[in-house]
Amino acid sequence: MDTDLRKKYWNENLKYLSILLAIWFLVSYGFGILLVDELNTIRIGGFKLGFWFAQQGSIYVFVILIFVYVRLMNKLDKKYGFNED
Amino acid sequence: MSDVQIWTYVLVALSFGLYIGIAIWSRAASTKEFYVAGGGVSPLANGMATAADWMSAASFISMAGIISFAGYDGAVYLMGWTGGYVLLALLLAPYLRKFGKFTVPDFIGERYYSKTARVVAVFCALIVSFTYVAGQMRGVGIVFSRYLEVDINTGVVIGMVIVLFYAVLGGMKGITYTQVAQYCVLIFAFMVPAIFISIQMTGNPIPQFGFGDTLSDGSGTYLLDKLDGLSTELGFAEYTSGSKTTIDVFAITLALMVGTAGLPHVIVRFFTVKRVRDARKSAGLALLFIAILYTTAPAVAVFARTNLIETVSGKEYGNMPEWFSRWETTGLIAHEDKNGDGKIQYVAAPEVNELTVDRDIMVLANPEIADLPAWVIGLIAAGGLAAALSTAAGLLLVISSSVSHDLIKNVLNPGLSEKGELWAARISAAVAVVIAGYFGINPPGFVAAVVALAFGLAAASFFPAIILGIFYKKMNSQGAISGMVVGLCLMLFYMLKFKFGIFDGGQEAVAGLQDDWWFGISPEGFGSIAMVVNFIVAIAVNTFTDDPPEDVQEIVENIRIPSGAGDAIDH
């Protein structure tokens, strides 16, 4: 298999990973923990925003992140001809 | 017999009948079927099975209760036990699926071309899984004893027989399809009461929105504001603010996330799907199915806590509803009239407080506290059992495959035939069930504490070794092994010192040691430090030792590319 192609594929994969993991970190450790007091001054309905991110929002974002990753990778696999089936 | 009991018997019997039926239908005929269900499970089924595997008695019975007493701090469990799936989906599952073997020690042993590495990994897998499974069997016993009024030990034995039946007969194949059924039972059992109560309290049928909504009494007050008010009035911390330090919340969340991603019984589920893309997709589906329960739990916590305070606080003891005395007999709730006024004082100050509540009651008694119909109450028992049994089965499989596949077949007796290995797997599964049952009946006092620490151990041992194995081609066996050993030992040391007080005179000394915590991090959160140490040691040792052989580096190149996973499984 073409090593150059593999390297390019891997680098694009790593780029996706770093972006997605940055968001993962931001919503949980950022919004839910480190910035929770600042965000708690903002309210959405009955929820203080920081509390909402810690107990609800971060989990929704986690689910979305994985499905975005699945889509991106399926496309990437096709682009490089590494898809199965 | 009361209505509730009849419903409980009927629902539990129906669900058990279903599991046994599935077990008979899905017997395993080969080691491949026994270890990885033949590798042909659909992403949807694998997602549900993973969710059931993952959500244990603790998630179902205890988590909402823990949150309801911890308030904001409960977020460590909510984020910690879901965020790990992002790591799993992005960093582990696709590559391990491409690698295409049966167990986690398989990966460690082959990637680090060393029997020592495999044995170290087997040791870690056994420690993590046994501590975890003992808690599950205990959970089965507790559900039986509280709802069906059988002795806890009888309950554990019934649970053992059921698990023995489908784990030994069906292996991973039997476990997978029973877990799919168990997921449906447990999520239904969790959601129905939550929806009922959400409508009752806020008029909103979706619990996730309901707990941020206004009360249905027409006052226009938000439920969370009301709970914050009630809590501070009684001297508790404000519900929506925490009392743990930020660094500890950070460390615990990280340890739980990384631990989740490093738990062998979760990782092994991704060996059961057909293609790499299926592994990615089923990780997403698994988290979606888990998120349904995990986003509802904090809502249940708020409903239950508010309901409890309103029902008992300052009220006449003699006027308590029927559920109060029913749960008093189980010891889960207790009232001691300290000032002799016949009323229940429920406040934060320990010298005035007259009510002790076990946190488990928040889920177990919640439907009764909210006055829901008998069949809804009966569902809770079936759901709790589904949660405990599905997790126990997944763990038992890891134990049995670590012994039969990694120890017996790959280290002790490589000449073993396929049929012999299948028998070895069945026998070790049976032995593991018996040992787990023994711990369920005679729980060592530290089971509950150790279950939480199983995550720290997984984070400190497996996670770095697997990540480095995939993302750092030049990582060698010396580095990985020293990282795992140092990480595991450090975690064990910290746990023994600060959780059990072994070096300072035992359990009584533990509370006094809090000020000595390293960086102010609790034993529950220390897994994240031990993980970092594992990474540092592994990379440092790696720099001073030789690169791994070419063919191993080629394996790493190969697992990074998804195509060809179908072939990988049989080589």
Please say if the pLDDT value at position B570 is more than 50: no
Residue A31: partners with Cβ closer than 8 Å, 6 or more residues away? A39, A49, A50, A53, A54, A57, A58
pLDDT digits (tens, 9 = 90+) for B526-536: 999 999 999 99
Q: In whole angstroms, give the CA distance from residue B283 to residue B286.
A: 5
**Which residue has better confidence, B152 or A25?**
A25
**Which residue has better confidence, B256 or B168?**
B256
pLDDT digits (tens, 9 = 90+) for B242-290: 888 899 999 999 999 999 998 888 898 888 888 899 999 999 999 999 9
What is the structure's pLDDT at B571? 38
Contact B277 A13 (CB under 8 A): no
What is the structure's pLDDT at A62? 97
Residue of A8, A14, A16, A33 for testing the chain B interface, max B β-carbons within 10 Å: A33
Q: Note whether B225 contacts A: Cβ–Cβ < 8 A.
A: yes
What is the structure's pLDDT at B36? 81
What DSSP string describes B219-254? T--BHHHHHHHHHHHTTPPPTTS--S-HHHHHHHHH
Number of other CB atoms surrounding residue B24 within 10 Å:
12
pLDDT digits (tens, 9 = 90+) for B90-142: 999 999 999 888 888 889 999 999 998 899 888 888 888 887 887 777 777 77
Instruction: Return the closest-CA partner of residue B161 out of B471, B440, B403.
Output: B440
Pick the residue from chain A with its C-alpha nearest to B80: A28
Give the number of beta-carbon pairs within 8 Å between A and B.
134
Share of chain B above pLDDT 70, in %: 97
Helix, strand or coil, per DSSP, at residue B333: strand
Average pLDDT of every residue of chain B: 87
Kind of pairing, strands B333-335 and A47-48?
A: unpaired
Residue B515: partners with Cβ closer than 8 Å, 6 or more residues away? none
pLDDT digits (tens, 9 = 90+) for A3-59: 888 899 999 999 999 999 999 999 999 999 999 999 999 998 889 999 999 999 999
Residue of B240, B270, B567 for testing the chain A interface, max A β-carbons within 10 Å: B240
User: Residues B46, B272: contact at Cβ < 8 Å?
Assistant: yes
Q: In whole angstroms, give the CA distance from residue B357 to residue B343.
A: 16
- Chain B stretch 116-145, residues whose beta carbon is closer than 8 A to a beta carbon of chain A: none
**Chain A residues bordering chain B (beta-carbon distance below 8 Å):** 1, 3, 6, 9-10, 13, 17, 20-21, 24, 28-29, 32-34, 36, 40, 44-48, 51-52, 54-56, 58-60, 62-63, 65-67, 69-70, 73-74, 77, 81-85
User: Residues B436, B133: contact at Cβ < 8 Å?
Assistant: yes
Please say if the pLDDT value at position B228 is more than 80: yes
Mean pLDDT, rounded, for B2-18: 87
Dihedrals phi, psi of B494, to nearest 5 degrees:
-65, -40
Global confidence as pTM: 0.91
Residue of B66, B95, B239, B280 for testing the chain A interface, max A β-carbons within 10 Å: B280
What is the structure's pLDDT at B567? 47
Helix, strand or coil, per DSSP, at residue B546: coil
Please say if the pLDDT value at position B437 is more than 90: no
Task: List the single residue in A6, A54, A77 with the smallest CB-CB distance to B557.
Answer: A6
Mean pLDDT, rounded, for B302-306: 91
Residue of A12, A18, A26, A28 for testing the chain B interface, max B β-carbons within 10 Å: A28
Task: List the single residue in B78, B91, B250 with the smallest CB-CB distance to A59.
Answer: B78
What is the structure's pLDDT at B421? 86
Mean pLDDT, rounded, for B170-193: 90
Q: In whole angstroms, give the CA distance from residue B514 to residue B201.
A: 40
Q: Note whether B78 contacts A: Cβ–Cβ < 8 A.
A: yes
Say if residue B274 is exposed, middle or buried (CB neighbours under 10 Å; 0-12, 13-18, 19+): buried
Half-sphere exposure of B534 (CA within 13 A, CB side): 29
Nearest Cα of chain B lies from the Cα of A31 at a distance, in angstroms, of 12
Matching residue, tokens 């974002």: A61
Enter the ipTM.
0.96
Residues of B in contact with A35 (CB under 8 A): none
CA angle B190, B191, B194 (to 5 degrees): 95
Q: In whole angstroms, give the CA distance from residue B179 to residue B213.
A: 34
Instruction: Return the closest-CA partner of residue B2 out of B308, B362, B323, B333.
Output: B323
Q: Which of B11-15, B36-40, B292-296, B501-505 has the highest mean pLDDT?
A: B292-296
Strands (E), B252-380: 333-335, 355-357
pLDDT digits (tens, 9 = 90+) for B340-376: 888 888 888 888 888 888 877 888 888 888 888 888 8
User: Residues B74, B301: contact at Cβ < 8 Å?
Assistant: yes
Q: In whole angstroms, give the CA distance from residue B429 to residue B169.
A: 10
Q: In whole angstroms, give the CA distance from residue B564 to residue B143.
A: 46
Provide the token pair at B294.
């995990």
Please say if the pLDDT value at position B497 is more than 60: yes
Task: List the single residue in A29, A44, A82 with the smallest CB-CB distance to B250.
Answer: A29
Contact B277 A1 (CB under 8 A): no
Q: In whole angstroms, give the CA distance from residue A65 to residue B375.
A: 38
Please say if the pLDDT value at position B166 is more than 60: yes
CA–centroid distance for A28 within its chain: 11
Please say if the pLDDT value at position B569 is more than 50: no
Please say if the pLDDT value at position A1 is more than 80: no
Provide the token pair at B413.
């007796």
Least confident of B163-167, B291-295, B428-432: B163-167
Q: How far is CA B277 from CA B97, B569, B570, in A?
A: 9, 15, 18
Strand partners, B357: B333
* Alpha helical stretches, state H, B88-149: 93-99, 104-111, 115-148
pLDDT classification of B449: cutoffs 50, 70, 90: low
What is the structure's pLDDT at B532? 96
SS (H, E, C) chain A: CCHHHHHHHHHHHHHHHHHHHHHHHHHHHHHHHHCHHHHCCCEECCEEHHHHHHHHHHHHHHHHHHHHHHHHHHHHHHHCCCCCC
